[in-house]
Amino acid sequence: MLLRHTPTEVTERKALMINPAKTCQPIGAMYAALGIHGCLPHSHGSQGCCSYHRSTLTRHYKEPVPAATSSFTEGASVFGGQANLLQAIENIFTVYEPEVIAVHTTCLSETIGDDLKQIAHKAERDGKIPEGKYVIGAPTPSYVGSHVTGFSNMVKSMAQLATPGTPKNGKVNIIPGWVEPSDMKEIKRLASMMDIKITLFPDTSGVLDAPLTGEYKMFPEGGVTIKELKDAGGATGTLALGEWCSADAARWLDSKCKVPCTVLDMPFGLTATDRFVDVLRTVAGVSVPDSIANERGQLVDLISDMHQYFYGKKVAIFGDPDQLISMCEFLRSIDMIPVHVITGTPGKAFEKRIKEITADMPGEVNVKAKGDIFQLHQWIKNEPVDLLIGNTYGKYVARDEDIPFLRWGFPILDRQGHQYFPTAGYKGGLRLLESILNLLLDRKDRDDPEETFELVL
């Protein structure tokens, strides 16, 4: 009982988080920045922040994650970090030779009032940014929002590279949100099946799923290029996948570059993928090929084959708002019951959406934004579930309460596959179904008494 210190009785808490279901902004900015080709993320703060984010991303992807730091000291925290950042920019371009440095702030540099824009301008004036290279920046105060906010802020900074007045180029911008490299690849595959030219940003495929070649490359092949980002202002439209992750960037492109945006749910599960495909088709003015209809049919087919095993199964789920919204909708599509839903990220709109999605459920959903895993665990103790879905931190609860556990979200520190196998799109839906079924049926096979233990399921 690793969480033996979690009591069943739920009491009002005001002042603290216990076993958090979120982390701070900068790591989101770092992940997003890795989706730019040739980009070195830079953490403007103390050394520890950078080290922690790199370690966490490394544990999740099992890939080298380079990022630099301003290495704040007591002096910098009193007199401002401008000198550190200027020196950093110079050193980075000299030693590591990236195309772009994507700077994000930390609680420390935000509070002492460092102004990234002004520092970047000074670097440019002082000739510290070589010709054809870029420094972009995003404010990511750790005491506001969550890692999702930081991701969104960096994606917005990427969008701001777009030049207003760029001639129309017939491409569609897709902002995928915080999904795995495999999901980004899947989104690109769906677009190419429809013969639509897209700019996907950020794009961590080819960066955090790189092959082993015997050489260490600080900057792997993948990532959206600066040229593509600049051209994003000439796109026909933008699809922002996820209100929390992607909408800000898309709205900026809409208002500044007149690229009309549609904010959609992330394409996890059947119906959210339907909407994604439909909007993409409409924006690009193409029709959906049979090959995609076929994939959809396969997903529906598997649901029909196994629907009796999903029926009425209760689920507790935690993670990030955009992912949870689509996943809860999918769980309802397959007749499962998400009874407890928690995100660590703030936002009352999240609770409202989840309540809408689960309105037809027997009994009311327990949902909380700005919640934590401690609370989720208490809810589970009071109303047990058949399945837990969440990031690796759920394993304590799963073990203590003996619940089948689907690892889905960020970070996953103890299993593999998320880099390579998508859960987005129809194909991704198949994988989700397979994973859920395996968990439920393995449990059934384990628990069924000998006389009802069956060969065929």
Nearest to 147 by CA among 69, 236, 56, 212: 56
Residue 371: left if φ>0, alpha if ψ -120 to 50, beta else—which one? beta
Quote the least distance from Cβ 320 to other proteins, whole Å: 14
Per-residue interface string for the shown chain with other proteins, residues 359-398, x marking contact by CB under 8 A: ---------------x------------------x--x--
Place of tokens 């084959």: 305
Q: Mark residues 30-49: x for contact with other proteins by CB under 8 A, - for none.
A: ----------x-x--xxxxx
Interface with other proteins in residues 127-156 (CB under 8 A) = 141-144, 146
Q: How far apart are CA 441 and CA 417, in angstroms?
A: 21
State in angstroms the smallest separation of the CB of 84 from other proteins.
4
Q: Bridge-partner residues for 100, per DSSP?
A: 39, 134
**Sequence-ordered alpha helix ranges (H) in 217-372:** 226-231, 243-257, 270-284, 290-310, 321-333, 348-357
- Residue 67 and residue 41 in contact, taking contact as beta carbons nearer than 8 Å: yes
Of residues 47 and 291, the one with the C-beta less far from other proteins: 47
Residue 455 interacts with other proteins (CB under 8 A): yes or no: no
Under rule CB under 8 A, residue 94 binds other proteins: yes
Distances (CA, A) of 79 to 74, 126, 408: 9, 20, 43
* CB of 52 vs other proteins, minimal distance in Å: 4
Q: Annotate each residue in 242-281 with x if it binds other proteins (CB under 8 A) or - if it does not, as one string.
A: ----------------------------------------
Helix (H), strand (E) at residue 315: strand 314-319
Identified binder of other proteins from the candidate list 95, 349, 359, 457, rule CB under 8 A: 95
Told to check if 401 binds other proteins by CB under 8 A, we report no
Under DSSP, the state recorded for 166 is P
Among 29, 32, 33, 92, binds other proteins (CB under 8 A): 92
Q: Considering beta carbons, is residue 119 or 257 the nearer one to other proteins?
A: 119
Q: What span, in angstroms and rounded, lies between the C-alpha atoms of 321 and 122?
A: 38
Q: Which of residues 423-452 bind other proteins (CB under 8 A)?
A: none
Among 34, 36, 67, 376, binds other proteins (CB under 8 A): 67
Count CB neighbours of 68 within 10 A.
20
Query: Is residue 112 at the binding interface for other proteins, with CB under 8 A as the rule?
Result: yes
- Least distance in Å: CB of 408 to other proteins? 18
Q: By C-beta, is 254 or 320 nearer to other proteins?
A: 320
Taking the least distance from each CB to other proteins, the nearer of 48 and 363 is 48
State the number of CA atoms in the 13 A half-sphere of 246 facing the CB. 25
Binders of other proteins among residues 327 to 356 (CB under 8 A) are 344
| Sign of the CA dihedral with 292 first, then 434, 343, and 105 last | negative
Number of residues in contact with other proteins under rule CB under 8 A: 87
